[in-house]
Chain A
Amino acid sequence: GAVVSQHPSRVICKSGTSVKIECRSLDFQATTMFWYRQFPKQSLMLMATSNEGSKATYEQGVEKDKFLINHASLTLSTLTVTSAHPEDSSFYICSGGGSYTDTQYFGPGTRLTVL
């Protein structure tokens, strides 16, 4: 299957700082990537859909000014959590799908802890 990487895998930061998470498709081009968030004991919730070369589409309740998404190329999307607070602590996962498949492939996730 296709490979998606995320960096960093884990980050601990102080409240008020900004954190950037990178999502890369390593062996396919992803016109669209998705960003999810998963709180403990809950399922994945879609935050936004990231389209290469255009603005991201955010789900209801997700603040676009707080969660900045950039999809500058067909292999890279970034999510920046601005002015992070402890309630932003979560598991952030990206996914992408290649043109040859109906399946989405997930990155390994980034565990964010805001102190």
Chain B
Amino acid sequence: RKEVEQDPGPFNVPEGATVAFNCTYSNSASQSFFWYRQDCRKEPKLLMSVYSSGNEDGRFTAQLNRASQYISLLIRDSKLSDSATYLCVVKAGGTSYGKLTFGQGTILTVHP
């Protein structure tokens, strides 16, 4: 079983749609969780951290369920510029410089 699993998609949605991505992780000792965005042939960029209480940043909402070891990302009112690969990322417990484990990514294409 992969340490971090995501639905690879691709997701093709029209502008304005709401889309949700799911992710599960296998290491119950994982301590930090993130969503990164990666554009084609570029480095990953942090989209948002994910907390158990849930957190929202504009059109993006992330949720963490530690009991189910499940992470989600909701994008509302999709824009063309949201087209990218979304990476679910988990950091191992321990120091603040822990190893990151990446999911395989979910490809999103937003079309006019």
Binding site for B on A (CB under 8 A): 1, 31-32, 34, 42-46, 49, 91, 93, 95, 97, 99, 101-109, 111
B87 near A43: Cβ-Cβ < 8 Å: yes
B102: chain A residues within 8 A (beta carbon): 43-45
B43 near A106: Cβ-Cβ < 8 Å: yes
Give A21 Cβ to nearest chain B Cβ, in Å. 13
> Considering the chains assembled together, what is the distance between the CA atoms of A108 and B100 in angstroms?
17
Q: With A43-B87, A43-B105, A102-B32 as given contacts, are A107 and B43 in contact (CB-CB < 8 Å)? A: yes
B30 interfacial by beta-carbon distance below 8 Å: no
Chain B residue at minimal CB-CB distance from A30? B97
Give B65 Cβ to nearest chain A Cβ, in Å. 20
> Considering the chains assembled together, what is the distance between the CA atoms of A93 and B36 in angstroms?
14
Q: A97-B97, A102-B91, A103-B34 are in contact. List 8 more A-B contacts (CB 8 A).
A: A43-B103, A43-B105, A44-B44, A93-B43, A95-B100, A106-B43, A108-B43, A111-B41
Binding site for A on B (CB under 8 A): 32, 34, 41-46, 49, 87, 91, 96-97, 99-105
SS of B interface (majority)? strand
> Considering the chains assembled together, what is the distance between the CA atoms of A44 and B42 in angstroms?
12
| Residue from the list B34, B46, B100, B105 in contact with A34, Cβ < 8 A | B100
B96 near A106: Cβ-Cβ < 8 Å: no
Give A42 Cβ to nearest chain B Cβ, in Å. 7
> Considering the chains assembled together, what is the distance between the CA atoms of A104 and B36 in angstroms?
11
B44 near A32: Cβ-Cβ < 8 Å: no
B99: chain A residues within 8 A (beta carbon): 34, 46, 49
Chain A residue at minimal CB-CB distance from B44? A106
B100 near A103: Cβ-Cβ < 8 Å: no
